[in-house]
């Protein structure tokens, strides 16, 4: 099923330094369209940094330097115009950050609207509804789309951030602990949505998660970072059943 | 030893309180004098106070500050049109490119503008605009005021933009927005109250200044601005009028000056209260 043409994410010998300190120390990875790659690892191991390289948000940190190669399909991420890279990607941040000055509707609509993805108002409303449904938020907000994010709970805000990302129907979906504040039932449903999106839209999904169970439920591949190094990478079943690395075992046992 | 130290500390506290009281009393005294003296004058002239030119020297209170009031309103509006866009653009530039060499130059420039006496701004406009057009004018006054408000508004707006949490800008970039789009659709919207406050602070500054108008506006006592062409003719403004009336040796002009001072105080106070209201409701 996995297609190798369009939007495979390839990371080769990636090194990141922040203020001269090595944060990622030579990472090699691949994430294929239609599949989900889970990134695991203890706090501070470089998971968020890796995500931020793939969509070039790392550029916003002037003290960061990046070496190596990153490709999205044929696009050389590190030498391309960052805005071209970000048109292919969308991201959910570790801390929910819906735009505080925009209504629930506009938070989801702003991306499609500014990128001209909707041909009409009805079209736009359809996209917003779809994204909110996939994020398991539609039922809770369908009668209050004009409300603002500060009127939502933390978990609702995180699902709104997810909807904002999904509304762009990105080729590459980058998720930094997207269900950290969300209840187990919604979490399961969101995981289903993510599987559907990967399968139906051939999206490349990269998800940072701290819970081995979540990785086991949704990931096709698992990568484990430890102290800026990739200590384990392979098909999810293999990594879970036969972890090669000591740290991987501990992480899968939930010890670190 | 200990008692000496305690005595010193007590003395210092007492001194601080005395100074604070002195400052507060002075401000209260000024405001109270302005209110007491101003109300009487305005009451006796009635509506004329707002529309008529000042009374002839030494001849009663049958007049007011009409031309200067109109002049101040036009000057503030015109200096806003000239100065605010430039101030906001400067602020956006400084907030978005804080490390560029040009930014540091611009920063140096706006900081110097904050420091230099505003009378020098008036002189600068005099030697350039007034001498080249051959006349004092409302336009020249407005140019001077716009230079005065520029550093205040740009500094305040820059700070408001910088206070927007980085995570919202990152969210904007993450959905593929360009820098200008992030500024327009995200940062400036979240900072909108701070931006409004910065603009109002600039306007309050422009409304209250006398010095930049000394060599630029012309201080026309009796003529009203009537048409757009009036912008190229001399005009007046309340602070400048107060200055003129107070220096003259006529009792009735001094009285009118008190009334003018009251109106100016109320205008500037109104702007400052507006700033407070706008800033208080900031929430992110
Ligand atoms: N802006 C920054 N400035 C300085 N150091 C940074 C910055 N961002 C990340 N780091 C450092 O890079 C390392 C990796 O951080 P990163 O946020 O990628 O970790 P993480 O794996 O996402 O951790 P967590 O699970 O806690 O989110 C950490 O040691 C962190 O201190
Ligand atoms: Mg992280």
Q: Is A87 on the interface with B (CB under 8 A)?
A: yes
CB A232 within 8 A of CB A222: yes
Residues A29, A35, A38: CA angle, nearest 5 degrees = 55
Among A197, A215, A216, which Cα is nearest to A207's? A215
Which of ligand 1's atoms lies nearest the C-alpha of A42?
Answer: 25
Domains and CATH numbers, chain B: 67-278 (1.10.3720.10)
Does A81 lie at the interface with B, CB-CB under 8 angstroms?
A: no
CB of A181 less than 8 A from some CB of B:
no
pLDDT in tens, B167-176: 999 999 999 9
pLDDT on residue A256: 66
pLDDT of residue A2: 39
Residues on chain B bordering chain A, Cβ-to-Cβ distance under 8 angstroms: 99, 165-178, 181, 185-186, 189-190, 192, 283-284
pLDDT of residue B156: 94
Q: How many CB pairs under 8 A join A and B?
A: 65
Instruction: Give the HSE-up count for residue A37: Cα atoms under 13 Å, Cβ half-sphere.
Output: 27
A166 touches chain B (CB under 8 A): no
Average pLDDT taken over every residue of chain B: 91
A chain contacts of residue B170, beta-carbon cutoff 8 Å = 57, 60, 93, 97
Q: Whose CA is closest to atom 3 on ligand 1?
A: A18
pLDDT given for residue B284 in this prediction: 44
CA of B34 to the centre of ligand 2 (A): 60
Residue closest via CA to ligand 1's atom 22 equals A48
Other Cβ atoms within 10 Å of B50 Cβ, number? 15
Residue A110 and residue B192: Cβ atoms within 8 Å? no
pLDDT digits (tens), chain A, 256 positions: 334 456 899 999 999 999 999 999 999 999 999 999 999 999 999 999 999 999 999 999 999 999 999 999 999 999 999 999 999 999 999 999 999 999 999 999 999 999 999 999 999 999 999 999 999 999 999 999 999 999 999 999 999 999 999 999 999 999 999 998 889 998 999 999 999 999 999 999 999 999 999 999 999 999 999 999 999 999 999 998 888 888 888 888 876 6
Residue B78 confidence class, pLDDT cut points 50, 70, 90: very high
Query: Which residues in chain B are contacts of A115 at CB distance < 8 A?
Result: 176
Cross-sheet strand order for the sheet of A9-18? A21-31, A9-18, A64-72, A75-76
Residues in B touching A90 (Cβ below 8 Å): 174-176
- When pLDDT is cut at 50, 70 and 90, the band that residue B152 belongs to is very high
Q: How far is the CA of B200 from the centre of ligand 2 (A)?
A: 41
Cβ within 8 Å, pair B167-A110? no
Q: Lowest-confidence range among A35-49, B116-130, B215-229?
A: B215-229
Q: Which residues contact B268 (CB under 8 A, 6 or more apart)?
A: B204, B207, B208
Ligand number nearest to the C-alpha of A17: 1
- Give helix A104-114 / helix A154-166 axis angle, nearest 10°: 20
Which residues of A are less than 8 Å from B184 in CB distance?
none
Mean pLDDT along residues B86-113: 93
Q: What is the ipTM of this complex?
A: 0.94
Section B115-121 average pLDDT: 92
Beta-carbon contacts of residue A110 (< 8 Å; ≥ 6 apart): A99, A102, A164, B175, B185
Comparing A242 with B153, the larger pLDDT belongs to B153
Q: Give the pLDDT band of residue B279 (cuts 50, 70, 90).
A: confident
**Angstrom distance (rounded) from CA A128 to CA A206:** 22
pLDDT in tens, B202-212: 999 999 999 99
pLDDT, residue B281, reads 58
User: Alpha-carbon distance B200 to B153, whole Å?
Assistant: 8
In percent, the amount of chain B with pLDDT more than 70 equals 98
Count the Cβ atoms, other than its own, within 10 Å of residue A147.
13
In terms of CA atoms, which chain B residue is nearest residue A55? B174
């Amino acid at each position: 099923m996995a297609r190798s043409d369009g939007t495979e994410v390839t990371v080769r010998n990636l090194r990141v330094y922040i203020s001269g300190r090595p944060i990622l120390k030579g990472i090699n990875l691949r994430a294929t369209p239609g599949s989900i790659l889970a990134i695991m690892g203890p706090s501070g191991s470089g998971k968020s940094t890796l995500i931020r390289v793939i969509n070039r948000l790392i550029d916003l940190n002037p003290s960061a330097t990046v070496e190596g190669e990153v490709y999205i399909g044929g696009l050389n991420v590190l030498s391309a115009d960052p805005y071209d890279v970000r048109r292919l990607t969308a991201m959910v941040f570790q801390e929910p950050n819906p735009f505080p000055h925009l209504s629930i509707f506009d938070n989801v609509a702003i991306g499609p609207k500014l990128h001209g993805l909707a041909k009409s108002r009805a079209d736009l409303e359809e996209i917003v509804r779809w994204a909110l449904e996939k994020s398991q938020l539609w039922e809770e907000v369908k009668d209050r789309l004009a409300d603002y994010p500060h009127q939502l709970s933390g978990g609702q805000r995180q699902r709104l951030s997810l909807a904002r990302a999904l509304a762009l129907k990105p080729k590459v979906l980058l998720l930094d602990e997207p269900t950290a504040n969300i209840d187990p039932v919604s979490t399961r449903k969101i995981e289903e949505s993510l599987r559907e999106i990967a399968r139906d839209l051939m999206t490349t999904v990269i998800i940072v998660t701290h819970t081995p169970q979540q990785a086991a439920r949704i990931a096709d591949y698992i990568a484990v970072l430890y102290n800026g190094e990739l200590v384990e990478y392979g098909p999810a079943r293999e990594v879970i059943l036969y972890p090669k690395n000591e740290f991987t075992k501990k992480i899968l046992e939930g010890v670190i | 030893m200990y008692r000496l130290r305690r005595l010193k500390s007590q003395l210092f506290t007492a001194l601080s309180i005395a100074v604070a009281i002195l400052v507060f009393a002075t401000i209260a005294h000024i405001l109270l004098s302005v209110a007491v003296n101003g109300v009487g004058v305005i009451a006796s002239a009635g509506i004329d106070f707002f529309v008529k030119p000042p009374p002839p020297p030494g001849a009663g209170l049958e007049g007011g500050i009409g031309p200067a009031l109109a002049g101040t309103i036009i000057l503030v509006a015109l200096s806003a049109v000239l100065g605010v866009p430039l101030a906001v653009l400067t602020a956006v530039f400084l907030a978005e490119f804080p490390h560029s060499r040009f930014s540091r130059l611009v920063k140096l420039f706006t900081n110097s503008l904050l420091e230099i006496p505003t009378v020098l701004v008036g002189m600068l406009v005099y030697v350039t605009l007034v001498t080249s057009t051959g006349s004092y004018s409302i336009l020249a006054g407005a140019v001077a005021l716009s230079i005065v408000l520029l550093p205040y508004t740009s500094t305040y707006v820059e700070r408001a933009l910088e206070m927007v949490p980085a995570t919202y800008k990152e969210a904007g970039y993450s959905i593929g927005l360009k820098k200008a789009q992030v500024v327009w659709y995200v940062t400036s919207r979240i900072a909108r109250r701070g931006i409004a406050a910065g603009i109002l602070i600039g306007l309050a500054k422009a409304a209250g200044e006398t010095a930049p108008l000394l060599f630029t506006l012309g201080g026309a006592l009796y003529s009203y601005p009537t048409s757009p062409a009036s912008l190229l003719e001399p005009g007046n403004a309340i602070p400048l009028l107060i200055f003129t009336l107070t220096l003259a040796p006529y009792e009735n002009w001094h009285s009118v000056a008190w009334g003018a001072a009251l109106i100016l105080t109320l205008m500037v106070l109104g702007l400052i209260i507006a700033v407070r209201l706008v800033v208080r409701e900031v929430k992110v």
